[in-house]
Amino acid sequence: MLLLTRLVGHTVCGPDGRAVGLVADLTVSLGEHSGRTVVDRLLVRRRGAPDLLVPWSAVGSFARDVFRLSADPAGFAIASLTGALDRDELLLKRDVLDTQIVDIRDQRLARVADVVLARTPDGHLQLVGVEVGFGAVLRRLGLTRWAMRGRDDAVAWSDLHLTSERGHSVQLETPRSAVHLLDARALAVLVSRLDTESATELLTARGPAMAADIVRVSHPVVGERVLRALPDATAAQIVAAMPAEHARHWRRRLSSAPAWRGRRFLRSRVWPRRRHRPRTEAGA
């Protein structure tokens, strides 16, 4: 097994063996239809020169902490990372590492301490899952002896939902993602763990019929919170998709003042989702 935190920072060399830059991140494409999620490209950071976004097919070898390219790196220079990424492409360090996830199988919130990958027989790096245990945090801090005492805790990639801004939106748009394979009750649990903005996006993405089922089986407070956060027309479509008795109940409830009016509504088990800015704006 390989860990993302141990790959980031490795040297990248050109075909002539001279150093080109350092690995800043790895990308994966969630729309891949091969049945597995593999590293698609390397983000290489260079001093005083544009970044490179190198396809894995141009990586000739990877050994002893060095990625050696098989093609001229100049052809992979990018002017803007945002513009260079595909619609279904994620950066593992930026969009996954140290972010909050929802473990769908165990119905819990967790924070990603590391990303686990594995070599495949055909020379790719496959995304396996994420480590969420405190032992992984201790290992990253160099406290190896203490880390060995901790319990290993990992979540398979197929069993998680990302809550970072891009991770969440890409998973909603990708039919292969777990969020599109869950029934209403499982989605209700997920909605209860997400921040309000992400929860409304999930309901909108699944359509009025499924959204109506999700609200019906959710805790009433959660259902009301999400419905009130939606545009009136969207909320009305969801309510209209419910059985008549439930629809009448929700129309009455939404027509009255919310129970928490005048009070700050906090949800202690939800962390704000990570947002990112283009590198030029962030001043990195």
What's the confidence (pLDDT) of residue 150?
A: 58
For residue 22, what are the CA distances in angstroms to 60, 121, 130, 246? 16, 25, 23, 57
Helix (H, G, I), strand (E, B) or coil at 13: strand
What's the confidence (pLDDT) of residue 127?
A: 95
- Average pLDDT of the residues of the chain: 86
Between 145 and 17, the higher pLDDT residue: 17
The model carries a pTM of 0.79
Tokens of 254: 């939404």
What's the confidence (pLDDT) of residue 177?
A: 85
Q: What residues contact residue 138 under an 8 Å CB cut-off, 6+ apart?
A: 144, 146, 147, 150
pLDDT per position as a tens digit, 153-184: 788 998 899 988 899 999 998 887 888 889 99
The CATH number of the structural domain formed by 2-161 is 2.30.30.240
Q: Are 1 and 116 in contact (CB under 8 A)?
A: yes
What's the confidence (pLDDT) of residue 265?
A: 41
Angle CA(30)–CA(31)–CA(34) in degrees, nearest 5?
A: 100
What's the confidence (pLDDT) of residue 147?
A: 52
- State yes or no: pLDDT of 117 exceeds 70: yes
Mean pLDDT of 62-88: 92
Element (H, E) at 208: helix 196-217
For the chain, the structural domain boundaries read 2-161, 182-255
Element (H, E) at 251: helix 244-255
Please give the DSSP secondary-structure letter assigned to residue 14. -
Q: What residues contact residue 116 under an 8 Å CB cut-off, 6+ apart?
A: 1, 2, 3, 4, 127, 128, 129, 130, 131, 154
Among positive and negative, which fits the CA dihedral 205, 206, 207, 213? negative
What percent of the chain shows pLDDT beyond 90? Answer: 62
Q: Minimum mean pLDDT among 39-48, 189-198, 248-257, 270-279: which range?
A: 270-279
- State yes or no: pLDDT of 236 exceeds 50: yes
Compute the residue count for the chain.
Answer: 284
Mean pLDDT of 89-108: 90
What's the confidence (pLDDT) of residue 49?
A: 94
Helix (H, G, I), strand (E, B) or coil at 55: strand
Integer Cα distance of 80 and 73 in angstroms:
16
Confidence class for position 258, pLDDT limits 50, 70, 90:
confident
- State yes or no: pLDDT of 139 exceeds 90: no
Furthest-apart CA atoms within the chain: distance in Å: 72
What percent of the chain shows pLDDT beyond 70? Answer: 83
Mean pLDDT of 115-135: 88
Tokens of 184: 């209403």
Confidence class for position 92, pLDDT limits 50, 70, 90:
very high
What's the confidence (pLDDT) of residue 65?
A: 86
